[in-house]
């Protein structure tokens, strides 16, 4: 699932062309291993969101016995210490590869060093790790979270400009799990955008932990504190948006894009099916995709390692942006043009998640 943008040629390649040309990929792009079974340990953060479930399902569906893999899956239940434990168990089980989706960026040196000393390649997926020695992991595959945030802010900027809205804009940021790569990138993009707009004010930023219940709780607190000063709610994933929408609706606020006449605009990330349904009816103004379908790309990554094919240290997946509002059709960021896909039910029906 890729975004249609003039900037695609500047993004890191995740097609792994050498593998695609020399090895057997199935219709979904999964590398089918025909040699000895490859054992893979996968430490997943948890099951906190629709996006996370789609990510897990993609990986589990790719690394099947039929495709030549033995997948050992561990749900960390949102705890880093559980991921440390899982990595050590994978080492004890002598897996061939470890896939790690880290709950936060820091604190990984010890566990990754143990894997390196055991001779087990570690592939980081989705979120990043922050380590001084990047030889502790073999490769990272994920999204450009800062760019996701920048695209959302660029859409808002273009929307306000085309509507000739120059009044003060009050923004609430319902952040993701603090310290997670997605939170860091999306929050920083908003902060930078606010700094460049004299009439944008970041009223408050508080973590909703990427879950609906916490998103609602944070929104209720913000309504109590800031009331009708709130024009924009920047939710760092769809599940937080669901909670914020419930809180705003229950408090009697009108949700929509007519912010000059009292609407509260919702901006969201992930582009899950439910999120896009809410985007189609205008409840969410713009939803910037975070592609969770990592399974095929991860099998291709392992294929590169199995066949000693060149593998980039870091690879970005490509992503789209959706809105049902026809005010903005594209945005410009750092000289690149990014398409805004005008949403339809047909687009939603054809999506995998």
Residue 132 burial (CB < 10 Å; 0-12/13-18/19+)? exposed
Structure tokens at 120: 């087990």
Question: Is the pLDDT at 16 greater than 60, yes or no?
Answer: no
* Whole-structure pTM value: 0.85
DSSP letters spanning 52-119: HHHHHHHHHHHS-TTTTEEEEEEE-TT-HHHHHHHHHHHHHTT-SEEEE--SSSSS-HHHHHHHHHTT
Phi-psi region of 311 (alpha: psi -120 to 50; beta: other; left: phi over 0): beta
Average pLDDT of every residue of the chain: 93
Q: 97-127, pLDDT tens digit by residue?
A: 999 999 999 999 999 999 999 999 999 999 9
Alpha-carbon torsion (33, 42, 96, 308), positive or negative:
positive
Question: Would the CATH topology of 8-143+293-316 be identical to that of 145-290+321-350?
Answer: yes
Which is the CATH superfamily of the domain at 145-290+321-350? Response regulator (3.40.50.2300)
Mean pLDDT lowest for which of 75-79, 111-115, 163-167, 349-353?
349-353
Structure tokens at 263: 């609407």
Question: Is the pLDDT at 22 greater than 90, yes or no?
Answer: no
User: What is the C-alpha to C-alpha distance for residues 46 and 69, in angstroms, rounded to an integer?
Assistant: 22
Structural class in CATH, domain 8-143+293-316: alpha beta
DSSP letters spanning 148-194: HHHHHHHHHHHHHHHTT--S-EEEEEEE-STT-HHHHHHHHHHHHHH
List the chain domain ranges: 8-143+293-316, 145-290+321-350
What pLDDT is recorded for position 352? 81
């Amino acid at each position: 699932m890729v975004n249609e943008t003039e900037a695609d040629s500047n993004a890191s390649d995740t097609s792994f062309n050498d593998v695609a040309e020399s090895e057997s990929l199935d219709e979904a792009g999964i590398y089918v291993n025909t040699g000895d079974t490859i054992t893979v340990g996968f430490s997943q953060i948890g099951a906190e969101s629709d996006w996370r479930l789609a990510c897990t399902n993609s990986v589990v569906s790719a690394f099947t016995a039929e495709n030549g893999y033995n997948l050992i899956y561990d749900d960390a239940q949102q705890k880093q210490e559980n991921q440390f434990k899982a990595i050590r168990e994978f080492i004890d089980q002598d897996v061939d590869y470890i896939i790690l989706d880290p709950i936060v960026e820091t604190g990984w040196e010890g566990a990754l060093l143990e894997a390196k000393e055991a001779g087990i390649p570690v592939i980081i997926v989705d979120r990043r790790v922050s380590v001084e020695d990047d030889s502790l992991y073999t490769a990272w595959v994920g999204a450009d979270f800062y760019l996701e945030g920048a695209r959302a802010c660029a859409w808002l900027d273009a929307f306000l400009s085309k509507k000739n809205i120059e009044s003060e804009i009050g923004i609430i940021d319902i952040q993701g799990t603090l310290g997670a790569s997605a939170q860091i990138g999306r929050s920083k993009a908003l902060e930078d955008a606010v700094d460049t707009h004299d009439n944008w004010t970041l009223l408050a930023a508080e973590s909703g932990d990427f879950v609906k219940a916490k998103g609602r709780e944070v929104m209720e607190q913000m309504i109590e504190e800031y009331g009708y000063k709130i024009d924009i709610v920047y939710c760092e994933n769809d599940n937080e948006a669901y909670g914020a929408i419930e809180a705003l609706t229950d408090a009697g606020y009108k949700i929509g894009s007519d912010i000059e006449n009292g609407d509260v605009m919702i901006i969201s990330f992930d582009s899950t099916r439910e999120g896009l349904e809410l985007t189609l009816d205008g409840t969410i103004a713009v939803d910037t995709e975070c592609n969770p379908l990592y399974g095929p790309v991860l099998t291709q990554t392992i294929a590169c390692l199995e066949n000693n094919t060149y593998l980039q240290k870091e690879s970005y997946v490509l992503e789209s942006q959706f809105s049902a509002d026809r005010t903005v059709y594209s945005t410009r960021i750092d000289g690149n043009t990014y398409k805004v896909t005008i949403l339809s039910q047909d687009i939603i029906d054809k999506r995998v998640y």
